[in-house]
Amino acid sequence: MAEEETMSGTDVLDPAPKNPWDRFGWLMAVVWLVFLVYPVIELLRTPAPLGWVVVGWAALALFVVLYVGGFARGLRTQSGLGRPVDHGQWIVFGALMVCAAATIPAVGGNALSFLPFIMSFASYGLTRPAHWLTTTGAVLVTGLSVLLLPDGWDYSAVLIIIVILGVVNTVSTWLIIRSAIAEQLGLELATSQGREAVARDVHDLIGHSLTVVRLKAQLAHRLIDTDPERAKTELADIEALTAEAISGVRATVTGARAATLADQLTASTAALRAGGIEPVVDGDPAMLSPAQGLTAGWILREATTNILRHAAASTVTVRLRPGLLAVQDDGRGAGSSEGNGVRGMRERAAAAGARFQLTGGESGGTLVEVMW
């Protein structure tokens, strides 16, 4: 009970910082806006009436705001690329096309320069059908402009860019979607393996304990009339076995609840501090993929348990890098024989396609490493 109170206390790590791409990915949208220089140049020298020029500048400015804002919003809400699309993104998409069309009276064919931005927004921020429809429409509109406008051949370079961009967007979004699907399948597989391991642990705990309890209960029943003192001893053993089984099941289920590496890292640091050991965390759990994080979290839990039971350590360093979990203590070091806990970590790592190493640290203690 004391350990439970410690694990649920307020002594936890700060929340993991957001992925830098989620925070600053919108800067990529800003960089690509340099290609709007052609409409800008045309607005500066256009002979169109002043009213249309004003409309053109206003539409261009609004286009920039909508494009960058919509890009950042898509990153924040995780819209598109196989995920549900937020309704507001469709509104932004429609507004982008209206803004581009509003510049036509002032810039003429240079309004085609807006199409690559509209294509990319549809490809990365909307659905797959939207990608195909927008890409096909952009190629057709640009091709007809090259063929039908008096100065159409001046826009042949834009047509080439749009065709190339369409191919690049198609391939890259397909790869991103396939990667996300593979990641999800890996996460589901790792979760399934974790549940099987928990079920096995609970089965072993309950099966052994209940078998012994049943035998002792039968013995106590036979002795209750002939040898009451021995019967009381057997009943006391039954009580102790039951408490031990409950504690084991609780520990197993508590470990299963740490579904993410970040959760387990918080639980492990709290448990180490409760045991008088100072934890040092170097890195971010987000550096590992969700599938890797499940395996890493399980191994971190087992390593923490081994340190608390056997290491007599004063400091534990948990290092996280892309494809790496390392747990090092400054305790007495690993013994010559490999226990069930270490074998379990090795088997779990192998099942996840990772390499497991248990070595002595540079300054003593034990170093546990899992590498993908």
Higher pLDDT, 351 or 114: 114
Greatest mean pLDDT among 216-220, 241-245, 276-280, 330-334 lies in 276-280
| Number of other CB atoms surrounding residue 75 within 10 Å | 21
3-class DSSP assignment, residue 281: strand
- Collapsing DSSP to helix, strand or coil, 215 comes out as helix
Question: Which phi and psi (to 5°) does residue 151 adopt?
Answer: -105, 35
Average of pLDDT values for 278-295? 88
- Of 295 and 281, which is predicted with more confidence? 281
| Chain CA centroid to CA 185, Å | 13
| Best mean pLDDT range from 215-229, 258-272, 283-297 | 283-297
Angle among Cα 119, 125, 128 to the nearest 5 degrees reads 75
Which of the pair, 57 or 334, is modelled with greater confidence?
A: 57
Q: How far apart are CA 238 and CA 251, in angstroms?
A: 20
Which stretch of DSSP H or E encloses residue 309? none
Task: Name the band, by pLDDT with cuts 50, 70 and 90, for residue 244.
Answer: low
Q: pLDDT-derived band of residue 5, with 50, 70 and 90 as boundaries?
A: very low
3-state secondary structure 224-255: HHHCHHHHHHHHHHHHHHHHHHHHHHHHHHHH
The 10s digit of each residue's pLDDT in 331-354 is 887 766 667 778 878 888 888 888
pLDDT above 70 (res 191): no
pLDDT, tens digit (0-9, with 9 covering 90-100), for 138-176: 999 989 988 888 887 877 888 888 899 889 888 888 887
What is the CATH topology of the domain spanning 259-372? Heat Shock Protein 90 (3.30.565)
What CA–CA distance (Å, rounded) separates 294 from 288? 9
Instruction: Identify the residue with better confidence: 188 or 299.
Output: 299
Q: In the chain, where are the structural domains located?
A: 20-184, 259-372
Max mean pLDDT range (51-65, 73-87, 301-315, 321-335):
51-65
Classify 130 as helix, strand or coil. Answer: helix
Average pLDDT over every residue of 200-213: 61
pLDDT band (50, 70, 90) for residue 19? very low
The helix/strand/coil state of 370 is strand
pLDDT of residue 369: 92
Degrees to nearest 5, angle at CA 334 with 329 and 337: 160
More confident residue, 9 or 367: 367
What's the mean pLDDT when you consider all of the chain? Answer: 79
Closest CA to 25 of 82, 94, 81: 81
In 3D space, the residue among 216, 232, 215 whose CA is nearest the CA of residue 224 turns out to be 232
pLDDT at 55 over 50: yes
Q: What is the pLDDT of residue 316?
A: 92
Give the rounded distance of the alpha carbon of 233 from its chain centre: 53
Pairing of strands 278-282, 315-321: parallel
Average pLDDT rounded to a whole number, residues 248-252: 61
Q: How many Å apart are CA 325 and CA 207, to the nearest integer? A: 33
pTM for the full predicted model: 0.48
Residue 52's pLDDT is what? 93
Contact 324, 296 (CB under 8 A): no
Mean pLDDT of the 34-41 span: 84
Residue 80 has pLDDT above 90, yes or no: no
Q: What's the burial of 334, exposed, middle or buried (CB within 10 Å: 0-12/13-18/19+)?
A: buried
Residue 221 has pLDDT above 50, yes or no: yes
The percent of residues above 90 in pLDDT, for the chain, comes to 19
Residue 324, C-beta contacts closer than 8 angstroms, at least 6 positions apart = 369, 370, 371, 372
